[in-house]
Amino acid sequence: MAVPLLDLKAQYAKIREEILAAVGEVLESQRCIGGPKIAELEEKVAAISDCKYAVGVSSGTDAILAVLMSLDIGPGDEVITTPFTFFATAGCIARTGAKPVFVDIDPKTYNIAPDLIAPAITKNTKAMIPVHLFGQIADMDPIMEIADKHGVPVIEDACQSITSTYKSRKAGSIGLAGCFSFFPSKNLGGIGDGGMAVTNDSGLRDKLMMMRSHGQGARYYHEFVGGNFRLDPIQAAALLVKLPYLDRWSQARRDNAAYYDKKFEATPVETPYISPDCVSIFNQYCIRVPRRDDVVAHLKSQDIGCAIYYPVPLHLQKCFEYLGGKRGDFPHSEKASEEVMALPVYPELTDEMKDTVVEAVLSRLD
């Protein structure tokens, strides 16, 4: 039995008519830029994130970039983040001209290790970007404590963790700003690229609104240099259709995760650790296994989807050679890159599919 890593067609089949009607509405209106769908989505995403404001943008990447630009971060500045994340987190820091400063992860949660942050702070540190990886929020209390002590703003990279909670607080509501991605594989995924920044800071919200339109205040009067970071109203329309399903889908992912956890009990498979402070949305279900690459090859040969998030920690990426990172600098991130693999966890998986995945993994570990 073939099991894909993600089956967006299965999701689409259930909401096809709603999506077509919502997209059709935008097309009929020919409001192809901006419009009411975007404002409606912003209001709803702010509400589910316990934030006052949300600003729709063109991707999760652009949400991070626009927030960094709004904080005037640039050459000479340093921004702390983790090397075990999707490239965009550090890529955006580098694009502003600032220096990404990496801090290793907690090997249990894969999120930034709070106790390693303080030694990385210098007089040039201008922001921190903890990443809420795989659907679980980083240990934010100690992170906020260090950040507040040094007066450094915290930008949550919550691209994989919309509506996830930490001590009952929502992803994106704990730092100065939170960034979400609506990449189609996310729990709330569009029908193309999209993203959003959330904040409780009205000044930041106002600046982001301008930043996404080339720093424009009054029409054709530019107060600073921004970008074209606007969210597409067709994406907003599709996302508004999907939003009411989000909690159900995330719960189904949690149920699938619990199913796998049980099946992998007393096996060599290390299942995801979820802190008692957190409720994960399981954007990914990542296990650690010995001889990972062998297991991945076996699953692929059986038409079972799996993926490696992420095979190269960012301090070892070619484009960051100039930062002088070398193997051994961040041992937990490097080890995770060698051992972690993601299994299918999408909501529409059946028990039979999950059993197929479990059997295939275990058959390689006996």
Ligand X SMILES: Cc1ncc(COP(=O)(O)O)c(C=O)c1O
In whole angstroms, the minimum distance from the beta carbon of 60 to ligand X comes to: 2
Please give the Cα distance from 85 to 363 (Å, whole number): 29
60 binds ligand X (CB under 6 A): yes
Place of tokens 């600098």: 329
Q: Residue 264 or 330: which CB sits closer to ligand X?
A: 330
Contacts of 324 (CB under 8 A, 6+ apart): none
Q: Using DSSP, state whether 166 is helix, strand or coil.
A: strand
**211: how many CB neighbours lie within 10 A of its CB?**
27
DSSP codes, 26-68: HHHHT--SS-HHHHHHHHHHHHHTT-SEEEEES-HHHHHHHHH
In whole angstroms, the minimum distance from the beta carbon of 61 to ligand X comes to: 3
Pick from 11, 49, 59, 271 the residue near ligand X by CB under 6 A: 59
Please give the Cα distance from 43 to 45 (Å, whole number): 6
In whole angstroms, the minimum distance from the beta carbon of 244 to ligand X comes to: 21
Please give the Cα distance from 328 to 177 (Å, whole number): 32
88 binds ligand X (CB under 6 A): yes
Q: Residue 139 or 157: which CB sits closer to ligand X?
A: 157
Pick from 49, 89, 163, 173 the residue near ligand X by CB under 6 A: 89
Q: Residue 101 or 188: which CB sits closer to ligand X?
A: 188
Pick from 49, 85, 136, 284 the residue near ligand X by CB under 6 A: 85
345 binds ligand X (CB under 6 A): no
Question: Contacts for 254-260 with beta carbons within 8 Å, 24 or more apart?
Answer: 254/279, 254/280, 254/281, 254/282, 256/282, 256/285, 256/345, 256/346, 256/347, 256/349, 256/354, 257/282, 257/285, 257/345, 259/351, 259/354, 260/285, 260/287, 260/343, 260/345, 260/354, 260/357, 260/358
282 binds ligand X (CB under 6 A): no
Residues 166-185 close enough to bind ligand X by CB under 6 A: 181, 183
229 binds ligand X (CB under 6 A): no
249 binds ligand X (CB under 6 A): no
By CB under 6 A, which span of 85-93, 242-250, 259-267, 284-292 interacts with ligand X? 85-93
Burial, 149: exposed, middle or buried (Cβ in 10 Å; 0-12, 13-18, 19+)? exposed
Q: Residue 89 or 173: which CB sits closer to ligand X?
A: 89
86 binds ligand X (CB under 6 A): yes
189 binds ligand X (CB under 6 A): no
195 binds ligand X (CB under 6 A): yes
159 binds ligand X (CB under 6 A): yes
Look up residue 186 and give its two tokens: 């996310």
By CB under 6 A, which span of 29-37, 138-146, 154-162, 299-307 interacts with ligand X? 154-162
In whole angstroms, the minimum distance from the beta carbon of 360 to ligand X comes to: 26
82 binds ligand X (CB under 6 A): no
CA dihedral 166, 311, 334, 98 (to 10 degrees): -70
Contacts of 141 (CB under 8 A, 6+ apart): 167
Pick from 106, 139, 157, 334 the residue near ligand X by CB under 6 A: 157
In whole angstroms, the minimum distance from the beta carbon of 265 to ligand X comes to: 29
Residues that bind ligand X (CB under 6 A): 59-61, 85-86, 88-89, 131, 157, 159-160, 181, 183, 193, 195
